[in-house]
Amino acid sequence: MKKILNRPVDYVDEMLDGLCAAHPDIYAQPSPRVITRAGGATAGKVGLVTGGGSGHLPVFTGYVGRGLLDATAIGDVFASPSAEQMAEAMRRADGGAGVLRLYGNYGGDVMNFDMAGEMLEMEDIASTTVVLADDVASAAPEERAKRRGVAGMIYAFKIAGARAEERASLDEVTTTAQKAADACRSIGMALSPCIVPQAGRPTFELGEDEMEMGMGIHGEPGIWRDKTKPADAITDEMMDRLLADTPLGRDDRVSILVNSLGATPLEELYIMFRRAKARLDDLGVAITMPLVGRYATSMEMTGATMTICRLDGELERLLRAPANCAYWTVT
Amino acid sequence: MKKILNRPVDYVDEMLDGLCAAHPDIYAQPSPRVITRAGGATAGKVGLVTGGGSGHLPVFTGYVGRGLLDATAIGDVFASPSAEQMAEAMRRADGGAGVLRLYGNYGGDVMNFDMAGEMLEMEDIASTTVVLADDVASAAPEERAKRRGVAGMIYAFKIAGARAEERASLDEVTTTAQKAADACRSIGMALSPCIVPQAGRPTFELGEDEMEMGMGIHGEPGIWRDKTKPADAITDEMMDRLLADTPLGRDDRVSILVNSLGATPLEELYIMFRRAKARLDDLGVAITMPLVGRYATSMEMTGATMTICRLDGELERLLRAPANCAYWTVT
Amino acid sequence: MGEITAPALAAAVARIAVAAEAFAPELNAADGALGDGDLGITVSRGFGEAAGAALPADVGLAFLECAKAFQRVSSSSYGTLVATALMATAKATKGRDAVPASDVPGLLKGALDAMMARGKGNLGEKTVLDSLHAVMLALDERGEGDVMPAAVRAARETVESFRARPNKLGRARMFGDGSIGLADPGQLAFCLIVEALQTAMVPAGRTGVTDGD
Amino acid sequence: MGEITAPALAAAVARIAVAAEAFAPELNAADGALGDGDLGITVSRGFGEAAGAALPADVGLAFLECAKAFQRVSSSSYGTLVATALMATAKATKGRDAVPASDVPGLLKGALDAMMARGKGNLGEKTVLDSLHAVMLALDERGEGDVMPAAVRAARETVESFRARPNKLGRARMFGDGSIGLADPGQLAFCLIVEALQTAMVPAGRTGVTDGD
Ligand SMILES: Nc1ncnc2c1ncn2[C@@H]1O[C@H](COP(=O)(O)OP(=O)(O)O)[C@@H](O)[C@H]1O
Ligand SMILES: Nc1ncnc2c1ncn2[C@@H]1O[C@H](COP(=O)(O)OP(=O)(O)O)[C@@H](O)[C@H]1O
Ligand SMILES: [Mg+2]
Ligand SMILES: [Mg+2]
Ligand SMILES: [Mg+2]
Ligand SMILES: [Mg+2]
């Protein structure tokens, strides 16, 4: 939990400078903290926009690219960007076919994206919203709308991005994005915190032998906190909780994402994947295009999230469609 | 520095099981701890083999794939695989055109790969060796042959892999691989250690406000240990040391790799990249195809390595050639 | 309370900005216990930026500048809600150079409605909405005259009476019953702001507020 | 020392295996100070696996089985060097059911050469090579009779005399002058193995070693 940075206040801007300098063929920053595809909006294509706090790379900015998103607005670490930045991202994403806002269900982000949408209305740019709320640990099924959005959002980015690339209408892209959002269930667990640069302190405290099940990616409280357990036991509990929320059986096809929150290495994600696959194999559930890696992080946090995305023919076709950003290439 | 695992003794095998189960289109494990391409050897192509200790994903196993390596032998965490496993990887990689061993300069690995080479000789499989020794912090220029191999090895994998894919002969591939190896200079710095599962303790200790410049990826001692510095100062020192070893100027073209040792997030790598690019810009050195991410890790270690790979026309062509593994796709 | 003019608004904002610098650590700590610990930064940055803005004489446009300033620098929930309230007030007062004190309860009602729409919140969920509502009622009752003591009392009482209840909205909701016994950071912030405003009202004549008492 | 037969080899290996279980923590610690802390595991696993191998009567093939066992389970530098030494000895003794004690210095020389070729090392670099060399010289001088005390003395003296010098090879080289004052883990391991072997030699008659004294 030690960091490499200059002045904390410059963390985000220097990061974005570096990102655009490293991948000028993919990303551009036409106005501060608004990142678009290098070529800007695609005429005639629905624009996809996301946004939220920094500190989650590749989420959010990393998923701007062909077959994925068109623009993002990025805030300070773990803090919402402003409504004006969001509106600017939407303007830059608009290719004349309207814009879909696709982002995680966090209070500040929701309010600001709503305001941004109202601003665009006045500018006669059509826009719609799909809010991502995949974290089963954050509210009961009856209160699904209150759930947080976590790693499952990348399925929505990918699937909606592919649908937009097909030149579907704003309504069609929105419908598919909502379907993808509804198809995802995630849960996380954390072992150690990260440090928000401007705060300078860990986001939470956990004993040397403790873990927390269900913790959110900003350290939001989870379901229980206790001694760490073996990888298989942790994976089993995560799978049990996901399957309780979205029962699966023979004939179901899913993709799963085993995601590191940052510090947890690939080695350990594969140990978890192995168990998760065994569980799904037992149920006769087919896994297609599984993802294992660092897809949605909290900087140097230790821990992992598990996402199940239940696929139908359309979702699978779109998930497999070509896409390219600095962190995810599908050919 | 907390881990998700079952029994430490199963860490590597469960990881490899998970890796092959997650990417059956890319990796196969035909014999224990020997990973090959899913389709095995390619007839008529020079086989590329690497190997070394586990705990460095995507290195080594992750770089098996089209346009990259053909097989790897993997040991326990941070421990060499056996000569017999290396020989088996070489047998499985041989498509009739001979095999190149391409691996990092560590005592155990060198001795075992030499033994493996002698075994293959008796089986009439031609083989050659290129040892990767890119870490400038590990020995003076006069003793370059004693240097450790670190993240720069992925340039050698990529470039040699592309050359082999062109159906170059074993001698030609070896020559190009050696050229790539000679073109790379790396240096690392560490902020916090990792835990080797079977040891159960951190590999080294550093005070809460300390860093170590030049530390190796297994915690080998570096150049100095002192209070942490700002990102730009750290990057400057790393660049100074690299440039002292391989002076660059106008007309030079390089790729650079800013690599996380595991826990250090992408955000911070981009802050470092930004500075490294400014330094090279000042010198008039052109950067092409820079890499920023987790390419060679030490599990959950905090820290970063910086590699400069100086390119000529051939090396750049091969670096840009198509390749695909679970962690690196070039199209 | 006197009437609201652009200079009066500027003076009030300036006074809150100064006070917020001082109470920011307390707010960060309160928000740290139930959220992400940024509320002190949000409030002090927001009022700081607004205090630095040049305000036009039109009261509505003056409130609009304050809203924009808030939005520029603090986009956390509270910042956005404050901006929303300022924006609603701006709309309601546009085109006037002075707004009588008697309009204040109505303006507060407008701000409250806008905040509830923006944050999809309800009264009783232990948020800043409850504070605003309580102050609005107190002003309504108190009518003309020096309403600030009543406003401060209402804001303070809201913090204390909600302390024993769980948070039902925003980030603090995640803590469930763990939030019982703790002050809602947003309610606390509101109380500190009103207190700062009261202090600002006292020397009002000297700082440009037309004191109507 | 008696002559070397397969049963004698088996008994010696078994004795070292038992001793290695006990001294593994000491070796891990020594290697931890100058390397990666795995040397105790390497030595105890290697001899443990060799002790479990069924050895054929042919001394050369018996050494070969031991070499293979070592290679299977311990591929760190030391494991590979021990395997290399065992392999060289296997080649030199193949086809014989007993090897006289007088051959031992020559066999040690062959092992040393093989290890130097494998590890590209030289004498004086503060490694196990120096230990092997010192013991070889001691046996050469001592000639016939009970050579073990001289061997143990040479191995122990090597550890102590190199302590004041820096490591020049292997992982410990990285510590430069930081290695001064510390025992080379590989030399220490060699010493502990030879000591275990001495203990094994004493009740040799009972465990199948043909005692020539
Ligand atoms: N949706 C909402 N509606 C009304 N008030 C809210 C809402 N969400 C949060 N609040 C208030 O804002 C306070 C937290 O503000 P802030 O720290 O800016 O939030 P965050 O950092 O979670 O975005 C809460 O204590 C509560 O009073
Ligand atoms: N190239 C070499 N030649 C001879 N001896 C060596 C060589 N490298 C290491 N050693 C010896 O091996 C010991 C370390 O063994 P080990 O712990 O197995 O190494 P590592 O874990 O670094 O692979 C050293 O103390 C030294 O005596
Ligand atoms: Mg907050
Ligand atoms: Mg916040
Ligand atoms: Mg060792
Ligand atoms: Mg070792």
- A274/B18 touch (CB, cutoff 8 Å), yes or no: yes
Confidence at residue C201, expressed as pLDDT on a 0 to 100 scale = 64
Q: Which residues line ligand 1 (CB under 6 A)?
A: A 107-108; C 31, 35-36, 38-39, 42, 76-79, 81, 119, 121, 127-129, 169-172, 184-187
- Which residues of A are less than 8 Å from B289 in CB distance? none
Structural domains in chain B, CATH included, are 8-182 (3.40.50.10440), 184-319 (3.30.1180.20)
**A111 in reach of chain C (CB within 8 A):** yes
Task: Tell me what pLDDT residue A223 has.
Answer: 95
Q: Which two tokens stand for residue A174?
A: 């929105």
Are there at least 3 beta-carbon pairs closer than 8 Å between A and D? no
Atom of ligand 2 nearest to the CA of D37: 17
Token output for A160: 């909606």
User: Would you place residue D141 in the very low, low, confident or very high pLDDT band (cuts 50, 70, 90)?
Assistant: confident
Is there a contact between C185 and C39 (Cβ–Cβ < 8 Å)?
Answer: yes
Residue C211 in this model has a pLDDT that exceeds 80: no
Token pair in block for residue C44: 């002090």
CATH T-level fold of D6-201:
1.25.40
Is the pLDDT at A109 greater than 90? The verdict is: yes
Size of interface A-B (CB pairs under 8 A): 176
Q: How far apart are CA B71 and CA B64, in angstroms?
A: 6
Residue A23 is among the residues annotated as catalytic for this protein: no
Name residue, tokens 């006037």: C96
Confidence of residue B211 (pLDDT cuts 50, 70, 90): very high
- Smallest Cβ distance to B78: which of D36, D79, D119? D36
Q: Report the percentage of chain B scoring pLDDT > 90.
A: 95
pLDDT in tens, A73-86: 999 999 999 999 99
Distance from CA of A17 to the nearest CA of C (A): 20
In the prediction, which pLDDT does C143 show?
63
Which of B74, B76, B82 best probes binding to D when mutated, by most D CB atoms within 10 angstroms?
B82
Q: Quick one: average pLDDT of C94-103?
A: 94
The pLDDT of residue C209 is 35
Query: pLDDT (tens digit, 9 = 90+) per residue, A233-271?
Result: 999 999 999 999 999 999 999 999 999 999 999 999 999
- Could you tell me how many helices (H) and strands (E) chain A has, helices first? 8, 15
Residue D213 has pLDDT above 70, yes or no: no
The predicted pLDDT at position C191 comes to 98
Q: Which residues contact D75 (CB under 8 A, 6 or more apart)?
A: B75, B79, B80, B81, B82, B83, B108, B112
Q: In whole numbers, what is the pLDDT of chain A averaged over residues? A: 97
Q: What is the DSSP string of A108-152?
A: HHHHHHHHHHHHHHHTT--EEEEEE--BGGGS-GGGGGGPPP-TT
- Would you say residue D8 has pLDDT above 50? yes
3-state SS, residue B68: coil
CA dist., res. B88 & res. B116, Å (int):
8
The mean pLDDT value for B2-11 works out to 97
Residue B307 and residue A44: Cα distance in Å, rounded? Answer: 42
pLDDT band at A201 (very low <50, low <70, confident <90, very high): confident
Alpha carbon distance C141, A226 (integer Å): 52
ipTM: 0.90
The 10 Å Cβ neighbour count of residue A247 is 9
Distance CA D6, CA D13 (A): 10
The answer to whether A56 is a known catalytic residue is yes
Q: Express each pLDDT in B240-298 by its tens digit.
A: 999 999 999 999 999 999 999 999 999 999 999 999 999 999 999 999 999 999 999 99
Label residue B201 by pLDDT band (50, 70, 90).
confident
Length of chain B (residues):
331
Which residue, by CA, sits nearest to atom 25 of ligand 1?
C186
Task: Give the other-Cβ count within 10 Å of C151's Cβ.
Answer: 25
Name the closest residue on chain A to residue C176, using Cα atoms.
A221
Give the model's pLDDT for residue A200.
87
- Bridge partners (DSSP) listed for residue A213: A189, A224
Distance of CA C122 to the CA centre of its chain: 17
Window 244-283 of A, Cβ < 8 Å to B: 262-274, 277
Numbered residues of chain D with Cβ closer than 8 Å to any chain B Cβ: 36-38, 41, 71-72, 75-77, 79-81, 84, 118-120, 169-171, 173-175, 178
Q: What pLDDT is recorded for position C89?
A: 96
Inform me whether the C-beta atom of residue A11 falls under 8 Å from chain B C-beta atoms: yes
**β-sheet bridge partners, residue B66:** B324
Among all residues of chain B, which has the CA nearest to that of A265?
A: B299
Spatial CA neighbour of D132 closest among D117, D113, D160: D113
What confidence tier does B152 reach under pLDDT thresholds 50, 70, 90? very high
Residues with Cβ within 8 Å of residue D176, at least 6 apart in sequence: D166
Predicted local distance difference test score (pLDDT) of residue D147: 86
Tell me what pLDDT residue C1 has.
55
Which pLDDT band holds residue A29 (cuts at 50, 70, 90)? Answer: very high
Q: Across chain C, what does the average pLDDT equal?
A: 90
How far is it, in rounded angstroms, from Cα C36 to Cα C27?
11
Beta bridge partners of A195: A202
At residue D200, the pLDDT reads: 67
pLDDT single digits (tens) C123-146: 999 999 999 999 999 998 876 678
Please tell me the distance from the alpha carbon of residue B322 to that of residue B56, in angstroms, as a whole number: 24
- What pLDDT is stored for residue D211 in this prediction? 33
Instruction: Say yes or no to pLDDT of A125 above 60.
Output: yes
Decide if pLDDT at B10 tops 60: yes
What's the pTM? Answer: 0.93
Read off the tokens for D141. Answer: 């001088």
Mean of pLDDT values over D128-144:
89
Could you tell me if residue B214 is left (phi over 0), alpha (psi between -120 and 50 degrees) or otherwise beta?
Answer: left
Which chains pack against C, by 3+ Cβ pairs within 8 A?
A
Largest CA distance in chain A: 55
What pLDDT sits at residue A122? 83
pLDDT tens, residue by residue, D26-40 = 999 999 899 888 899
Position D11, amino acid? A
- Write down the pLDDT at residue B102: 98
What confidence tier does C210 reach under pLDDT thresholds 50, 70, 90?
A: very low
- Band the pLDDT of B71: cuts 50, 70, 90: very high
Tell me what pLDDT residue A128 has: 98
pLDDT at A147 over 50: yes
pLDDT tens digits for range B94-104 = 999 999 999 99
Banded pLDDT at D145 (limits 50, 70, 90): confident
Looking at residue B160, its amino acid is A
CA of D39 to the centre of ligand 2 (A): 9
B40-62 residue pLDDT tens: 999 999 999 999 999 999 999 99
Q: What type of residue sits at position B273?
A: F
Q: How many angstroms does the Cα of residue C137 sit away from the middle of ligand 1?
A: 22
3-state secondary structure at position A263: coil
Mean pLDDT of B167-174: 98
Does the pLDDT value for residue D125 go beyond 60? yes
Q: Which residues contact A296 (CB under 8 A, 6 or more apart)?
A: A56, A58, A59, A150, A151, A153, A154, A217, A259, A305
Q: Do B108 and D175 touch (CB under 8 A)?
A: no
Q: Which residues contact ligand 2 via a Cβ below 6 A? A: B 107-108; D 31, 35-36, 38-39, 42, 76-79, 81, 119, 121, 127-129, 169-172, 184-187
pLDDT value at position D144?
A: 67
Q: Is B31 exposed, middle or buried (0-12, 13-18, 19+ CB in 10 A)?
A: middle
Measured CA to CA, the distance from residue A93 to residue A80 in angstroms comes to 19
Tens digits of per-residue pLDDT, D65-82?
999 999 888 888 999 999
Q: Give residues with Cβ within 8 angstroms of B262, minimum separation 6.
A: A263, A265, B194, B294, B297, B298, B299, B300, B301, B302
Q: Could you tell me the two tokens for D207?
A: 């465990």
Q: What is the pLDDT of residues C26-53, one digit of tens each?
A: 999 999 899 888 899 999 999 999 999 9
